[in-house]
Structure 1
Amino acid sequence: LHTIACRHTAANIAEELYTIVDNGCGVLDVIVEHAVYGQLSGQLQIFSRLDADDFLRKLSKSRSLPLCNLTGGVHLHTVSCPSEEAYRRMLAQLREKGILYPSSVKINKIKKPGT
């Protein structure tokens, strides 16, 4: 598992999610740092374009704002990737699209439970 930092507007959520899942990776959650409440997170469990479309539909239908709106678009995702190659490819594409938070080179690697 890896944690990546991203920044984008609500208009780029689909592009972000599609880029991640198209590389075989999954988006487990979204995390933002709120000035008053501290760390806020939401479970996503998005592993395909179908999952992404379902999430986007729910977001639109509920008329709720995404968590990243609280932080000027800056947020973290915990992602799972099938290989280091898939992870690096996903990062490169997010960087090319201007979604990866600038100089997000110090991306944390999270230990899997029990390791």
Structure 2
Amino acid sequence: MNQLPEDPCMQEIQRLRADYEAKRARSNLDSAGDRRCIRLADIPGTISGDILRLKQNLPDSVDHGDHEIIGDKVRPILNPPPPPELDDDSEELDTILASLPIVDVDSSKRFVKKGKYKSEIRNLLECEG
């Protein structure tokens, strides 16, 4: 399905992407280099809800340490949970990827995902016939 740039749906998608990227660039949510716990409750129209909607940055008072923000109340977390352990469960895909045809994808129009599992590639090949 080839969509033209004049397509109103495609224009809206591009507008929403650009809006999100601009909000994300202005946000300080991922600027902390250290690992810490910030617990946010999604309460619309409050500080916590606005932070989750990228309408407001984290307050300066949470620059250090672990905090929770529920509504408009900001307080330290005394016993934060430990960070989750992230296991890399990806698989070696070089051999199976070599069996796929090389295609050019316009990433401004299509989501481009790097595969992690052989089953993803096998499913793609099965669908392609």
Question: Higher relative contact order by CA 8 Å / sep ≥ 6: 1 or 2?
Answer: 1
Structure ID, larger Rg: 2
TM range (shorter): under 0.3
As a proportion of its length, which structure holds more helix? 1
Structure 1 length-normalised TM = 0.21
As a proportion of its length, which structure holds more strand? 1
Structure 2 length-normalised TM = 0.19
